[in-house]
Structure 1
Amino acid sequence: MNKFNFYFALIISLILLQASIAAAQQFGVKGKVLDVETFKPIPGVSIKVVNTAYATSTNENGEFVIELPNKVTDYTLVSSYLGYKPDSTNFKLQVSSWSFVPVSLLSTSSTLDAVVVTRRREQASEIALLDERRLSSLTVEKIGAEELSRKGIDDAASALAKMSGISKQEGNSQLYVRGLGDRYISTSLNGLPIPSNNPSLKNIALAMFNTDVVDYVGVDKLHSAGLNGDFGGARVDIASKDYKGEQLFEVSLGSTINTNVLSNTDKLYMQDGPNFWGFSNYKVPADATGSYHFKNSWVDKKKAMTPINFGFKAGNAYKIGTEGRLSLFATANFANGFGYREGVNNNYSSQGAKLRALDQQRVSYTTSSTGMLNANYQANSRTKLAYNFLFVNTSDQYRDNFTGYLVDKAEDNNGLIQRGVYEQTQLIINQLLGKHQLNEKVDLQWGLAYNRVNGDMPDRMQSTLRSLENGDWVFVRNNSADNHRYTHHLTEDEIAGNIAASYKLGTSDRGKLTVGFDGRKKKRALKAIQLNFDIRPDYRTVPVDPKNLDAILNQANYGIAYDLESFSGNGYQTYNGDQDIYSGYASLDYKLTDRLTSVVGFRYENIKQYIDYYSIEMPAGGNNTFTKNGFLPSLNMKYTLNDKQNLRFGASKTYTLPQFKERALFPFEEENNTYIGNPYLYPSDNYNVDLKWEMFPTSSELLSVSAFGKLIQNPINQITISSATNDISYLNTGDKGYVYGVELELKKDLLTFNGGQDKLSFGFNSALMRTTQDLDATKVNRETKGLFNIDVKSKAGFTGASDLLINADLSYMKKFNAARSLSATVLYNYYSDKLFAIGVNGLGDQVDKGLGGLDFILKSKLSKKVGLDFSARNILNPSFERWQEDAIPVKVLSYKRGVNFGLSLKYQL
């Protein structure tokens, strides 16, 4: 049975299973009680069904469940609680599932003269997000704070990796949505764009956003007129915390330990780098090529293993005047982590000859510091203003030792490369947002943002040595770059704004017309210098101590043992990029019938991207500019089959821009590869189509099946260029490419106990995809004017795409009483083989082999104030492997990450 047949059978089996379980389930009413002013859940509320004996009370989260006879009838709920005005709510019992009834209570001490009690749902709850998804005219998938907590998810990147059709690249921050990677995705915070922290990538590393600052993470896989047109795979939007409660103060303390590190604590030696907190003020020395003034030592220092994470949250709300309310929320967190891994790191020519065959040992240390402040001012029921400030500092430090075979350098397997790297990123986001109801017909929404990123690699150092027969070590010097130090400094500034006005049509919410404008100006600058230590001939046979290179590479030996070389002039390579995008759009959301809703939109974008660069590849300097006018129609339709089922269809045209770094003839070296840009790169155009059926059996359950397809004209690919170092570049490799597949998503309550207070639930999502594209060497050679003379096969998949993605979770939740609870969740994820880089000129493709992971999360509330959490991640500890698929496949990279065990304690005052 092939994968498609298997997948089809799996879908049918799950639908039949859903139907059989639904036939045997009980029915009744579920709900959640909130304070209408603070939106805070109210525990202990008495809930009674009028004229019956059915009654219960809300738990600590304000939730209630009452089982009722399975028959169609009207009921009335009466909710009462000391200090609040009683509430009566009418509802009709659903014969096929549980009914969800949200309740809002008004305090008897409220000073408001008149209150319209709107039945609101808590934004972050799983039930509310599912109901929003069911009712929305557009297709948006969200994972909220409640689900993030239950699954023990620590950051936004990990959250997205649990959603259907999304995978995370091993070893870096990149995400792939429906087989399309970084350049096909856009990222925003509260609907406003955020810059990248990496000179090679379009999107910021979403792992920088810990879940303490996140209300929910949403993914738009279908384009609509209000979204940026640089959209091939998806738009990811992070909604920051919108605190609505009263006084809160919570502190937490914990630690995460890696099993690889525990068994190798004696090997935690790393270069001078950031301090314990992940901050550094290291600068490139003045007169860098004329003398030796480095402050950082070549000698490694041992790191004390002190894994720790701690943080606090604080919030409060204040009444202002008769209607106003100001809510303040702040959070600050710090976390660090240690890593250790061993494996192979190899490189082969197109003829299968070894270029290097090395054993790799890596020690790593990472930190993340996050601070956020939100201020939300609700002037009245018609006006809301918000200010969001976010600061994130991350550092990533690692030390590699490569030992073994180096062609032309150490061919007796006696080579040693020592490489130390640390990177520091600082992100600052400022946002001002406004929502206004001008009258019963017109709503206005706007946003302004100023963002800045500083991305530094303060000091990357590399030495290359080989051992002699007597055991002595000596420097290798095939070229001066074999021993070097490298520094770069990246800044990116972005100003963005949007404004949109909506006009309601008719008198019965038949539809609305929305017109809007948005714009963004981005400036990026990179300044880099590599200082090569050119070892003089007389010192290439002098014994050295690999653990004490300061004895040779120092100020006293400058001009005697070595010379310093760099790029011409002042030694710096630079590139500068400007990108301006201005857009206008209109969309009509209209109910064609009581069941059929359409959202028709059109977006126009004016795009200009300019870049100049000065590099070793272009000593005289170079620059290029492209402009594009994007005419982007979109159509989204929803047909409501019944109260619980929808059929959706979407179609749109979008585009994909090349990134600054991809268009600069500028080399950027990483530990395994050298990347070089292509100044002839140009945008792709994308045509997207999607068909989805979704069913919501109950308020907490979901079953959906989607089919999607994409046509990409002039797709951009990452290509391995056969050369002495197997460099990688970016090319428009052919005329067209295709992505198509199906997705399945299931959320199911398997069992409920204790009147619905306790339950066993199951979640599953999967995607089966195919990607294919035409490759055309003639086109590449012609369009790059001979810069890349390559020979490629005629077909290939898309880099980063897996044929099969699976995510599954099984959760048990137990409520002991209003103050004590327990939840346990097992999570599994799997991705099949994915293409890392397309080989050319006889070089085989590089493929990352399929990998599965298993996590276990235990969360407990020991009392009203104390919580204790435990996690075990990567329990299976599989081996990550990358293979080059030559005539005889060869392994080019492998390692195991180890198992991570975490424990944290929370205390709420």
Structure 2
Amino acid sequence: MHCKNQTTIKLVMNTLRFPKWLSLSAVFLLLSFTAPFTSLAQTGSLKGTLIDSTANELIFGAIISSPEFPNIGAQSDFDGNFLIQNIKPGTYNFKISYIGYKEVLLNGIVVNAGQTTDLGTINIKIDEEVPVIEIVGEVATNTEQAVVQEVRAQDQVVSGISAEQISKSQDRDAAAVISRIPGVTLIDGRFIMIRGLSERYNNVLLNGAIAPSSESETRAFSFDILPSNVIDRILVFKSGAAEMPGDFAGGIIKVYTKANVDKNITSLGISLGYRTATTFKSFTRQSGYNADWTTFGNNARELPADFPKDLKNLGFDYNKSVEYSKQLDYNWNTKETTAMPDLRMNLLVGRNFYAGSVKISSINNLSYSNVYQSYKNDRFRYWNYDSEGKSETKLAFKDQYSVNSYRLGLMSNWSANFTKSVNKKILTFRNFYTRSAFNETQFRSGYDNEKTQELLFQSLRYGTNAIFSSQLEGEHGMRSNKDNLTWVVGFSQITRSEPDWKRASQTRQLGSSDPFRTVVQPGPTAQDGASFFTKLTEGVVMNSVDYARNMLNHTDSSRVRLTLKVGYYAEYKKRTYYARWMSLTDAGIDPSLKFLSPDELFQSQYLGYPNGLLLQEGTRTQDRYDASNTLIAGYAGANFVISKVTIDGGLRMENNRQQIESAVDGTPVIIDNKILTPLPFLNLSYRFHEKWVLRGSAMKTINRPEFRELSPFPFYDFNIPADKTGNPNLKVCDIINLDTRLEFYPTEAEMVAVGVFYKHFKNPIEAYLLQGASNLVYIYDNAPEAQSYGVEFELRKSLESFTNVEFMQRFSLLFNGSLIYSQINFGNDLTSYSNLIQKRAMQGQSPYVVNAGIYYSYRKTKLSGLYNVYGPRIFSVGDSQIRTIYEMPRASLDVTYSYELNKKTELRIGISNLLNSSIRLQEDGNNNRKLNEKDIDKNISQYRIGQNINVGFVYNF
């Protein structure tokens, strides 16, 4: 029998292409671990439902406790249900307390081992002798138990993480936090991938409003801008609803920041970080800019205020051009310094006070970080592929990166609670501002076999990114909480700037011992003596209103409820983007001067015509665009509960207008896409047991192209290196989503879930890598169709019920994994790119994602270990000339330790990236989708960033 089971599991693993590193023993261990959940026979449970006997309404928030045993108790949930678990067998007395109601005594309640004592429906009455008093309070939302119960109560497929769980790790920002959620993978330390789908298929809501995109290239919210200590909870919705945005396929991430505190707090956190590949080692940076650490280093690099808007307008007046050119900053100098330890500081202040009968709560946070990072990257390109896929090296480079990053963050959230015993009124005002900057130097050395040249490149880059967001939210309960109205108005603005990104190259004959010559072209280029200026400004205003009314309520004999929901979401987004680039060109300069290095040659003393360097404009009309997007969405839905079944359905209509104005070689390019999209949703839940929930959902969603993907603006990315350009003919992608999941809740804070999903994409948007006239070119286009399906497993479990050993009871486990299969099928329709592969995985789709964690907590000590790995995913789609490039699997392991030195001080130590796995891109040399074939599948890029050790203190005043 055992052998037969092994054969079956092997077959399943092979079918799903499960990663080889996960052995059969691990699968059996997982099965044996989950088996005991239903056989906890040492204790019993107690459950019941509370109803207001006068109004025939459910009672939420009542306290059920035992006078003899203070550690036994529970609170009724939104459906009036309560469940007390892990009670030792015996006879108990209980009382039910709720402000404004008569206390109910339950005496002689018998609890048996391995059984649940069901008290049924319990009626409680208003105490007419007690005057109605004003109650100001909030339900806890940031504990593990609260998040598990919120996930449990949802009608969609949801995963989440609480502030309590965040505190058990050393996660410093929302990016690290969200990587612990099932099916979520972190990309580049900032962006997230859900169910193996790239960031373009996710949507982020920040406190109810669509979060601003922090990137100019794609729709992606940079999660590292939010410090972890300001997060209340994060929920990831993998199925939608009528009241949620329809532009997603992977998931909708709802991030809630803290707006109130239980008590006055003031805490200061300071940490120092040691990077094994960087700290106390040689570090190269631009010299002469002393204000960079403030994140306001742009001022010294910007063009002068009176500098001509286009040097081409000067015509052939070269003397005038030289005169203006001498106003520029020709600081190509770098200096060697020593990388200091990373510095992070955080000040959190929370206050509660009353203004009359209104409770005011405020939480404010100031954070700053200064981080150094150095690493070496080996880059390659290949050519002359034979019939087997073997190739020769065309380009081989070694890159040396030195990046100094800075971040300044401010957050100020306020809430006013007018909650009374009947109606609730809560106003919340949330604001955050973050400003980040980076100073990056990159030196590249290597050779080009095609041109038989040995090459040196350098890139000196500084950029800033500022994001401001402000939201005012109101929540109103009316008619004894039968009606609920929530509204939000918000504004956000993003400003990205990269002034004077300098790039230069040097060359000599391959195999020669001659000195290198600095390349100076007769006309402007993007990489030889070039200066690149760019700025993006985007503003967003939004307003949403959501209204729900309970039409029916529970009765004594049946569980029936009908809630109607209507609302709208309106958003207007305006973006202005421009790029300007110039380069120093050859105007008859003495050839011997070209043996000078770029920092020596590119100086104002060598500017002159006709015997020197001439600054020439390379900017084209397509190097800028103006764009706007207007989204008007309305929805109507209903939530119907009958007995143990919940039906949640509705229709969302989204009217979106996307407008872009640009030009190509002087010819205007006008894009005006008006699309009205109906988006139906249906969610089903079957609660056939108090611990079990079966869910299913079906919905239609979409994925719209972004401004940058539509704009014809071409951009040379020095880091890849390749050109990137948009496609004005992109279509909207339509997606059909099907989900089902079975959930088991052993206790209030524990969860086990397994689910399957299927998605069908029409016109999915992808990035293709093609051979251009001189450089490789990334271009966006639609594939005909694609599909993705998979299975997910999630586990959140304490070891307390498995053992009587006190030490082992202090541990809890977290595990989640996803197995995903995706395929794009071009069939015979390869009109756009005749050399594309007919069948392959979707770009950016990982075949598996695994997160695992173990936590230890005892008195003043907390210890955790967190592991993550994702499967190989397509980085760029190639063809028979340029092979498809994959991002290879990378495993990470983080270990954290914290100890409460005293009531006010906590010590925190963390080691991240303990495995120091390489970050590697590999091409599929013969396009057979089998990787790591010797002499065929070769590395395109490979580097390691080293381990990071952080030691910090948090002091609570």
TM range (shorter): 0.7 to 0.9
Deviations 1:542-586 (A, max 9, x none): 35443x6144432542444322222357x8821111111101101
1:18 has 2:34 as partner: yes
Of the candidates 142, 160, 177, which is equivalent to residue 124 of structure 1? Answer: 142
Structure 1 residues 317, 174: CA separation in 2 closer, same or farther (over 3 Å shift)? closer
Q: Which segment is superposed worse, 552-561 or 802-811?
A: 552-561
Report the equivalent of 1:601.
Answer: 650
> Which whole-Å CA distance do the structure 1 matches of 2:382 and 2:290 have between them?
33
Match of 2:844, as an amino acid? G
Match of 1:451, as an amino acid? S
Deviations 1:47-103 (A, max 9, x none): 9844x5x55699xxxxxx9964246x6642799xxxxx9998999869559999xxx
Match of 2:473, as an amino acid? L
> Which whole-Å CA distance do the structure 2 matches of 1:891 and 1:757 have between them?
44
Match of 1:198, as an amino acid? E
Report the equivalent of 2:769.
Answer: 720
1:876 has 2:915 as partner: yes
Of the candidates 278, 285, 303, which is equivalent to residue 284 of structure 1? Answer: 303
> Equivalences for 1:374-773 in 2 at 5 Å?
374-381=413-420, 382-406=424-448, 411-412=452-453, 414-440=454-480, 441-467=482-508, 469=512, 471-477=514-520, 480-481=524-525, 482-508=528-554, 510-536=561-587, 538-546=589-597, 549-554=599-604, 556-559=606-609, 560-567=611-618, 573-591=623-641, 593-614=642-663, 617-670=664-717, 671-672=719-720, 673-723=722-772, 724-733=774-783, 735-751=784-800, 759-773=810-824
Deviations 1:281-320 (A, max 9, x none): 3322423743132236110134552521112111111122
Q: Larger Cα Rg: Structure 1 or Structure 2?
A: 2
Determine if contact 2:852/2:866 at 8 Å carries over to the other structure: yes
Deviations 1:244-270 (A, max 9, x none): 322211111111121101363355667
Match of 1:625, as an amino acid? D
Structure 1 residues 452, 93: CA separation in 2 closer, same or farther (over 3 Å shift)? farther
1:330 has 2:372 as partner: no
| Matched residue SS, 1:146 | helix
CA drift of 1:676 comes to 0.5
> Which whole-Å CA distance do the structure 1 matches of 2:619 and 2:806 have between them?
76
CA drift of 1:139 comes to 2.7
Match of 1:343, as an amino acid? N
Deviations 1:832-865 (A, max 9, x none): 2111011024321101111111110111211111
Match of 2:541, as an amino acid? I
Structure 1 residues 313, 691: CA separation in 2 closer, same or farther (over 3 Å shift)? same
Report the equivalent of 1:252.
Answer: 269
> Which whole-Å CA distance do the structure 2 matches of 1:907 and 1:87 have between them?
44
Match of 2:855, as an amino acid? S
CA drift of 1:157 comes to 1.9
CA drift of 1:866 comes to 0.7
> Equivalences for 1:32-111 in 2 at 5 Å?
49-50=66-67, 54=69, 68-70=87-89, 75-76=93-94
> Equivalences for 1:856-875 in 2 at 5 Å?
856-875=895-914
> Which whole-Å CA distance do the structure 2 matches of 1:28 and 1:775 have between them?
58
Match of 1:260, as an amino acid? A
Structure 1 residues 594, 477: CA separation in 2 closer, same or farther (over 3 Å shift)? same
1:225 has 2:251 as partner: no
> Which whole-Å CA distance do the structure 2 matches of 1:88 and 1:363 have between them?
69
> Equivalences for 1:785-824 in 2 at 5 Å?
790-815=834-859, 821-824=860-863
> Which whole-Å CA distance do the structure 2 matches of 1:552 and 1:98 have between them?
81
CA drift of 1:21 comes to 5.9
> Which whole-Å CA distance do the structure 2 matches of 1:219 and 1:389 have between them?
22
1:179 has 2:196 as partner: yes
Structure 1 residues 295, 512: CA separation in 2 closer, same or farther (over 3 Å shift)? same
Deviations 1:697-722 (A, max 9, x none): 11222110010000001111111112
Structure 1 residues 477, 774: CA separation in 2 closer, same or farther (over 3 Å shift)? farther
Match of 2:633, as an amino acid? S
> Which whole-Å CA distance do the structure 2 matches of 1:903 and 1:149 have between them?
15
CA drift of 1:472 comes to 2.5
Unmatched 5+ residue regions in structure 1? 32-45, 59-64, 80-84, 101-111, 782-788, 816-820
> Which whole-Å CA distance do the structure 2 matches of 1:97 and 1:579 have between them?
58
Determine if contact 2:270/2:954 at 8 Å carries over to the other structure: yes
> Which whole-Å CA distance do the structure 1 matches of 2:806 and 2:446 have between them?
64
Deviations 1:436-463 (A, max 9, x none): 1121322111000010000111231111
Determine if contact 2:171/2:177 at 8 Å carries over to the other structure: yes
Determine if contact 1:350/1:844 at 8 Å carries over to the other structure: no
| Matched residue SS, 2:496 | strand
| Matched residue SS, 1:276 | helix
| Matched residue SS, 1:839 | coil
Determine if contact 1:552/1:561 at 8 Å carries over to the other structure: no
Report the equivalent of 1:136.
Answer: 154
Unmatched 5+ residue regions in structure 2? 1-9, 48-62, 74-83, 119-129, 312-320, 386-390, 555-559, 927-935
Q: Which segment is superposed worse, 638-647 or 207-216?
A: 207-216
> Which whole-Å CA distance do the structure 1 matches of 2:31 and 2:362 have between them?
45
Equivalenced residue count is 850
1:897 has 2:945 as partner: yes
Report the equivalent of 2:350.
Answer: 315
> Which whole-Å CA distance do the structure 2 matches of 1:368 and 1:237 have between them?
23
> Which whole-Å CA distance do the structure 2 matches of 1:179 and 1:885 have between them?
20
Determine if contact 1:575/1:611 at 8 Å carries over to the other structure: yes
1:360 has 2:399 as partner: yes
Structure 1 residues 894, 6: CA separation in 2 closer, same or farther (over 3 Å shift)? closer
Match of 2:491, as an amino acid? Y
> Which whole-Å CA distance do the structure 2 matches of 1:713 and 1:154 have between them?
38
CA drift of 1:408 comes to 6.2
CA drift of 1:242 comes to 2.2
Structure 1 residues 266, 437: CA separation in 2 closer, same or farther (over 3 Å shift)? closer
Deviations 1:614-633 (A, max 9, x none): 3xx53333121111111010
| Matched residue SS, 2:615 | strand
Q: Which segment is superposed worse, 270-279 or 333-342?
A: 270-279
Determine if contact 1:442/1:501 at 8 Å carries over to the other structure: yes
> Which whole-Å CA distance do the structure 2 matches of 1:47 and 1:683 have between them?
53
Determine if contact 2:486/2:546 at 8 Å carries over to the other structure: yes
1:855 has 2:894 as partner: yes
> Which whole-Å CA distance do the structure 2 matches of 1:795 and 1:271 have between them?
53
Match of 1:857, as an amino acid? T
Structure 1 residues 335, 715: CA separation in 2 closer, same or farther (over 3 Å shift)? same
Aligned-pair identity in percent equals 21
Deviations 1:618-658 (A, max 9, x none): 33331211111110100000001200010000000011100
Deviations 1:412-467 (A, max 9, x none): 4x311001222211000010000111213221110000100001112311110125
Structure 1 residues 254, 503: CA separation in 2 closer, same or farther (over 3 Å shift)? same
Determine if contact 2:579/2:619 at 8 Å carries over to the other structure: no
Determine if contact 2:273/2:341 at 8 Å carries over to the other structure: no
